[in-house]
Amino acid sequence: MKKFTTVAIIAVAGFSMLLSSCGASVNEYEIALITDVGDIDDKSFNQGAWEGVVEFAEENDRTYQYYKPTAVDNTEYVNTIDLAIEGGANIIVTPGFLFETPIFLAMDENPEVSFILLDGVPHSADYSVFRQGRNVLSILYAEQQAGYLAGYAAVADGFRSLGFMGGMAVPAVVKFGVGFMLGAQAAATDENAEVTIQYHYTGDFADTPDNAATAETMFNAGVEVIFAAGGAVGLSVMSEAEKAGKKVIGVDVNQGPGGADLSDTVITSAMKGLGTSVVQALEAFYANEFPGGEVWVLDASNDGVGLPTDEASWGFETFTVAEYEVIYDELAEGERFVLLILNGSTVTGATEAEIEAYDTVMNKVAVTFVA
């Protein structure tokens, strides 16, 4: 049986740049991470990747550092990559799709440096050229499976009015959302239940009054639980859930009790194996076996996604870990799959015949798209 257990959150200092190895001076940080939108201690994507860097470096006596760009654009991201290289980095972790073009620009200019690109593949700014550099390992995750598990679990536990608040409508967030709807549909079919979902993209990954207002509106309209798949957007949702006595599904890492413990309203989190995948990539690099030029896809078959199943983190009342593991194993073994069409391409491990026979009619779930 495959399941996620809680990984302790690693405390980090609130500096804009963390000097991470005692006694190390400038030009000695061999492993670097460059943050995406947000901070290193965001209890989400940046922190999940950073914990992998810290875990590996501390266990293997390697120096490490993180850098935070001063702006969110390709030029600043490339400049920050250059800064990390000047600081001694020979391998750089970049969490997030926004690094796809910066890595495309930096990989040929820095052939002696290796890059771990999470949630993306290198391409030109106009998307006309996609090329996986020999010094770049891309790691993708089956967010649609994680979302499916969250949606299935929520409905199987008795929730009937659901909400989804994603950040920007980028591939990873879209996959979480579509998977969430399909998981809810599958459980509603099994339970012979009628379910509603209010579905919304915030357009950002921030904790803002606007996002809090959207969550408040959803809860006031009867939504019982919101899947917050947008980094710090989740903080807005959690604050409103606490006021309304409602529930939240976290994202990327274990954000609830037993994990980051951001709020008691978090009943589960749709997790990606961010830290684990970074550790595996760093292990390969230092074993002189770095799989540059490859794209890894982590899913249920290799424990790359899932819900936390330790007792402290399991917030469901009637849906059990044993029942969850049955669904998880069916995903892992290909007996159950999540069909997703993204940018005209089919994202699934299913065969062509299975796809043709797949019934995608949302006859048990009514979805309302919220502007």
3-class state of residue 86 by DSSP: helix
Burial of 205 (0-12, 13-18, 19+ CB in 10 A): buried
pLDDT tens-digit series, residues 305-334? 999 999 999 999 999 999 999 999 999 998
CA distances from 223 to 73, 146, 197, 229 (A): 36, 21, 8, 16
pLDDT of residue 24: 45
Let me know how long the chain is: 371
Instruction: List helix spans (H) across 270-313.
Output: 274-286
Neighbours of 49 (CB within 10 A): 31
Closest of 340, 342, 371 to residue 165, by C-alpha: 371
Cα separation of 298 and 343, whole Å? 20
Cα separation of 311 and 187, whole Å? 23
Give CA angle at 79 (75, 82), nearest 5°: 145
Give the 3-state DSSP-derived string for 15-73, with helices as H, strands as E and coil as C.
CCCCECCCCCCCCCCCEEEECCCCCCCCCCHHHHHHHHHHHHHHHHCCCEEEECCCCCC
Cα separation of the two ends of the chain: 40
Helix H or strand E encompassing 90: none
At a CB cut-off of 8 Å and minimum separation 6, what does 330 contact?
A: 336
3-class state of residue 114 by DSSP: strand
pLDDT of residue 11: 28
**143-271+311-369 has the same fold as 31-141+274-302:** yes
Q: How is 219-230 classified by DSSP, letter by letter? A: HHTT--EEEEES
Q: Which CATH class is domain 31-141+274-302?
A: alpha beta
Residue ranges of the domains in the chain? 31-141+274-302, 143-271+311-369
pLDDT tens-digit series, residues 143-180? 999 999 999 999 999 999 999 999 999 889 999 999 99
At a CB cut-off of 8 Å and minimum separation 6, what does 174 contact?
A: 166, 342
Burial of 1 (0-12, 13-18, 19+ CB in 10 A): exposed
Q: How is 306-365 classified by DSSP, letter by letter? A: E-B-STTT---SSS-HHHHHHHHHHHHTTSS---EEETTEEESS--HHHHHH-----SSE
Cα separation of 177 and 284, whole Å? 32
Neighbours of 2 (CB within 10 A): 17
Q: Is 369:197 a contact under the CB 8 Å cutoff?
A: no
pLDDT of residue 347: 62
Cα separation of 274 and 305, whole Å? 9
Mean pLDDT of the chain: 89
CA distances from 108 to 104, 115, 135, 139, 352 (A): 8, 11, 9, 19, 37
Q: Can you read off the two tokens belonging to residue 195?
A: 């379910």
pLDDT of residue 357: 55
Give CA angle at 272 (212, 161), nearest 5°: 45
pLDDT of residue 355: 54
pTM as predicted: 0.85
Residue with tokens 């859930």: 241
pLDDT of residue 45: 85
pLDDT of residue 362: 84
Q: Which CATH class is domain 143-271+311-369?
A: alpha beta
Residue ranges in the chain modelled with pLDDT below 50: 1-26
